[in-house]
A = this chain, B = another copy of it.
Amino acid sequence: MNKQIQFFLDEIESHIKKIPLDCEPKALYQPVSYCLGKGGKRIRPLMTLLACDMFGGEIKQAMPPALGLELFHNFTLMHDDIMDNAPLRRNHPTVHEKWDANTAILSGDVLFAISCQYISQVPDNILRQILDVFYKTVIEVCEGQQYDMDFESRHKVSAKEYLEMIRLKTAVLPAACLQTGAIVAGAENKDQEKIYRFGECIGLAFQLRDDWLDVFGQHEEFGKQSGGDIIANKKTWLYIHALQKGSDKQKHLLSEAYSDNYSAGDSEKVSLVKSIYEDLGISGIAQNAMKAYYDQAFNYLASIDLPDARKEDLAQLAEYLHHRKK
């Protein structure tokens, strides 16, 4: 990514390091510090800064809400990891694994409150607008997480339901990050709407790419297990479309593989499902869908009445996310 983006990322990182977390009681704040210290791509606060910059706002003013949004994102990870029983996050033990579930609950709660404090550090005249976007987004993210959990125990999930779930769980937060930057810069409502939609499309494509990488990514290169979603019986975009397009026999095999009484081993299961995906050309179909979301995103970006040069950084970030390999 270019120098400007790298500069913003460095700024974000140095501000995150300065968040005062060396507080008492230690058992409450150390897990917060641990969670924030384990990295992450910092894409969300970057989006806030880039949107602010694009609309000609002051980065300094966008930094506190940008940090707040990153803190909120980390709060969702802490709580989601409990619910998903995830042992690892960013190659380190999750908070509930390293400490326990109670710690992850309460440290998450305080992290949420701290995120609210940062988000409200904006000029008075935009405070309400910033809060309205933020609280609405928090509620939607919770709804998305609930749908995700609901879908685990459901037999059938339609493509439309799945897309709405990932829109809520994954896409509205980047969208809100961009809108927040736009609000700080004083962008008009119609432009706020456009940058929000841009973020939503990028977020949807981002999640589809996650689904795709899980099966078709170069796992050896990145030390990740191939087909983790398949092993966990996740009804991903790929699975749902394979179920739609498959022959009766393929449908039956897919359902069998995802049923509780499937008895073969994990790697056999991944091979079976992956081979059905390949027979049905699901990889290509998914890539087309991602491409369509990216095109839609770029249409929203193009429709904003600013010189192309101003949009370059955001376009570059979107390109990077589109082609990411992990």
Contact = CB atoms under 8 A, between A and B. Distances in A.
A274 to B, nearest CB: 30
A106 B83 contact: yes
Given A25-B150, A146-B25, A146-B28, A105 B131 contact: no
Contacts of A120: 128, 131, 135
Contact of A128 (B101, B113, B127): B127
Interface stretch (A137-145, A249-257, A275-283, A293-301): A137-145
Number of copies: 2
Interface in A271-291: none
Contact of A139 (B114, B139, B143, B147): B114
Nearest to A109: B142
Interface in A130-163: 131, 135, 138-139, 142-143, 145-147, 149-150
B83 A146 contact: no
Interface string A82-123: 110000000000000000011001100110111011001000
Q: Is the interface of A mostly helix, strand, loop or mixed?
A: helix
Contact of A113 (B106, B142, B149): B142
A260 interface: no
Contacts of A127: 124, 127-128
A101 B105 CA distance: 10
Contacts of A117: 135, 139
A105 B81 CA distance: 11
Given A25-B150, A102-B82, A150-B27, A112 B110 contact: no
A106 B79 contact: yes
A105 B82 contact: yes
A79 B105 CA distance: 7
A113 B101 contact: no
A24 B102 CA distance: 27
A128 B127 CA distance: 8
B139 A110 contact: yes
B110 A142 contact: yes
A125 to B, nearest CB: 9
Interface of A: 24-25, 27-28, 79, 82-83, 101-102, 105-106, 109-110, 112-114, 116-117, 120, 124, 127-128, 131, 135, 138-139, 142-143, 145-147, 149-150
Given A83-B102, A101-B101, A116-B116, 4 more contacts: A27-B146, A27-B150, A109-B138, A120-B128
